[in-house]
Chain A
Amino acid sequence: DQQVKQNSPSLSVQEGRISILNCDYTNSMFDYFLWYKKYPAEGPTFLISISSIKDKNEDGRFTVFLNKSAKHLSLHIVPSQPGDSAVYFCAASSNDYKLSFGAGTTVTVRA
């Protein structure tokens, strides 16, 4: 039973434009939400997180938005760069230390 869903398996965006990745969740007990970036043959790398008490967190080119009532979060990357081409995983956790992951969205940034 997937509690975290990323319904877009892929996203193609032009360099310099905005990338918007979406994520939905079903478990209302989740209190932290995280985004990870993964290159081939490497482990996921932590990108940015947001607590359930906030609705926005920004770190450089990356901004995560949380809409608790809709159980939805999104990651904005502005401006997109070629090095951003990777698989992005949305993840969520509650007090039990488990991270539940979405299936990932493959982002391709075109020159």
Chain B
Amino acid sequence: DTAVSQTPKYLVTQMGNDKSIKCEQNLGHDTMYWYKQDSKKFLKIMFSYNNKELIINETVPNRFSPKSPDKAHLNLHINSLELGDSAVYFCASSPRDRGTYGYTFGSGTRLTVV
């Protein structure tokens, strides 16, 4: 029973298309995140939602729009995809006591824009 599941695992699409990545957690956590791992393998935060409220919005192009219909789901929609959007996107969630228990990550979505 996967704790944080994201779909799809792989996504290959053409430049200019619009695509969505879905994420769901069954841990009862209050906070969910989207992280991007770029070609240099750095993991960088993009967005965070706490109980459906956006609390972190890093310097991300406004082509990226997160949506949280409830605290168990956080989806990522990307408009007008560009080559530079190719990366692995990780969804994560954390409890209130994030320091002790850490964040739980999904297995990632590898997005390739051609």
Show the binding face of A for B, using Cβ within 8 Å.
Answer: 2, 31-32, 34, 36, 41-47, 49, 51, 87, 89, 91, 93, 96-101, 103-104
Binding site for A on B (CB under 8 A): 4, 31, 33, 35, 40-45, 48, 50, 55-56, 90, 92, 94, 98-108
Residue of A nearest to B45 (CB): A98
Q: For the complex, give the distance between the alpha carbons of A97 and B33 in Å.
A: 9
Chief secondary structure at chain A's binding surface: strand
Q: Are B103 and A99 in contact (CB under 8 A)?
A: yes
A97 touches B42 (CB 8 A): no
Q: How far is the CA of A32 from the CA of B96 in the complex (A)?
A: 13
In the complex, which residue of chain A has the Cβ closest to the Cβ of B42?
A103
| Option from A41, A43, A97, A100 in Cβ contact (under 8 Å) with B4 | A43
The answer to whether B105 touches A97, judged by C-beta atoms less than 8 angstroms apart, is no
A96 B56 Cβ-Cβ under 8 A: yes
